[in-house]
Homo-oligomer: A and B are copies of this chain.
Amino acid sequence: MNNFIFQNPTRLIFGKGMIAELNKAIPADKKIMITFGGGSVKKNGVYQQIQKALQGREYIEFWGIEPNPAIETLRKAIALGKEHSIDFLLAVGGGSVLDGTKLISAGLKYDGDAWDLVKKGAYHDTVPMGSVLTLPATGSEMNSGAVISCHETQEKYPFYSNYPVFSILDPETTFTLPPHQVACGLADTFVHVMEQYLTTPGQSRLMDRWAEGILKTLIEIAPKIRENQHDYNLMADFMLSATMGLNGFIAMGVTQDWCTHMIGHELTALHGLTHGATLAIVFNGTLRTLRQQKKEKILQYGERVWGITGENEETRLDKTIEKTASFFQSLGLSTRLSEENIPDTTILEIERRFNERHAAFGEAENVNGAMARKILENCK
């Protein structure tokens, strides 16, 4: 096991009706700006619950943080927040609203252009933020990460800020999500876990078990959710799994990978594909390409998560990789670039971008431009 320092200060407020806790959760003297996405929260009653919880409190609203939040939008929110001397942010929505609000939270304390902070990668002088999460997927509600896009340059980069001081998760808010969003959330969570699990074997027995525990939970609930998205316990397990999949709890003392994500971000930047949907494609390419490098852990994953055993290792590897693709397909997601009409020129462009950045992603730092191209060719 590697040495590590772990701390996650976020207060998780979880369950039916818990949006009512909002007033208590935000200190009384704070000047609040609430950030929203497109407006679905007005249809599903979340907005009304928030209004009720914050009755008598003063706040301003910023609407329109889009999927894959863009610096162009966030600059406007930062300007508005500065104008009103905002000192508390409440993000209401999915991972994109939360991610965008993390940059706003840093931007409010920064004099220059906030895109500098994204390019820098991290900034910790921030205005405190809380969240009401409505779409389980990114884990942003209980981690310090965010991913920010720039429309002008078609770029998309990770950025690290501070943890939300609290996050409210009411599984009932997920009942009316579009099924495709739920599918992408399940795929996103699955691959988050894989990025922390499918690395060097034998680093921590416990972390392996916990990662496998999330994977098994996702595999168990996914078909049931597709049958009935209004089952509270199912959606609660989904919501909790998504949070636990990327809050550091399964990353203690183990190395991580993230090459699938880095390639997926490029697909989103170039084609606007939903994040989870990019992972459901690229991860298959990663497995096929790094099959030998990750052999031992793929075999462990196959056996413990899918029950794939037998004498012949190559057959077990084949079956495990197939099972993984079938899982994404069972969610109704594409598992090939061709299904999303992504052309070969995109593969070349991603290779070029990786080369330009002198990228060497992945646990073994061997996912450079050429390797990214192989991975993408393996899921064409």
Show the binding face of A for B, using Cβ within 8 Å: 1-18, 21, 171, 202, 204-207, 209-210, 212-214, 216-217, 220-221, 232-233, 236-237, 240-241, 244, 249, 252-253
Contacts and interface: CB of A to CB of B under 8 A. Distances in A.
- Max chain B C-beta neighbours (<10 A), residue from A13, A214, A236, A244: A236
A274 to B, nearest CB: 24
A14 B252 contact: yes
A8 B2 CA distance: 22
Given A1-B15, A3-B15, A4-B12, 16 more contacts: A1-B171, A1-B233, A1-B240, A3-B14, A4-B15, A5-B11, A5-B21, A6-B11, A6-B12, A6-B14, A7-B11, A7-B12, A14-B252, A204-B233, A204-B240, A210-B210
A228 B110 CA distance: 54
Contacts of A16: 3
A206 B247 CA distance: 15
Contacts of A12: 4-7, 252
A210 B6 CA distance: 18
B10 A10 contact: no
A237 B2 CA distance: 11
Contacts of A8: 8
A209 B205 contact: no
A292 B207 CA distance: 33
21 contacts: A1-B232, A1-B236, A1-B237, A1-B240, A3-B17, A3-B18, A4-B15, A5-B11, A6-B11, A6-B12, A204-B237, A205-B237, A206-B217, A206-B240, A206-B244, A207-B240, A209-B213, A210-B210, A240-B252, A240-B253, A249-B249
Contact of A217 (B202, B209, B221, B253): B209
Contacts of A13: 5
Contact of A233 (B202, B214, B217, B241): B202
A193 to B, nearest CB: 11
Contacts of A6: 11-12, 14
State the 9 A-B residue pairs at the shortest beta-carbon distance, nearest first: A3-B15, A209-B213, A1-B236, A7-B11, A6-B12, A206-B217, A205-B217, A205-B237, A213-B213
A357 B11 CA distance: 34
A55 to B, nearest CB: 22
Contacts of A14: 1, 3-6, 252-253
A141 to B, nearest CB: 12
A175 to B, nearest CB: 15
A228 to B, nearest CB: 15
B204 A236 contact: yes
A14 B12 CA distance: 24
A339 B99 CA distance: 59
Given A4-B14, A7-B11, A15-B2, A220 B205 contact: yes
A60 to B, nearest CB: 28
A204 B221 CA distance: 11
Nearest to A10: B7
A11 B139 CA distance: 20
A10 B1 CA distance: 20
Given A14-B252, A212-B213, A253-B240, A7 B4 contact: no
A212 B213 CA distance: 9
Contacts of A233: 1, 202, 204
A237 B1 CA distance: 8
A315 B244 CA distance: 36
Contacts of A202: 233
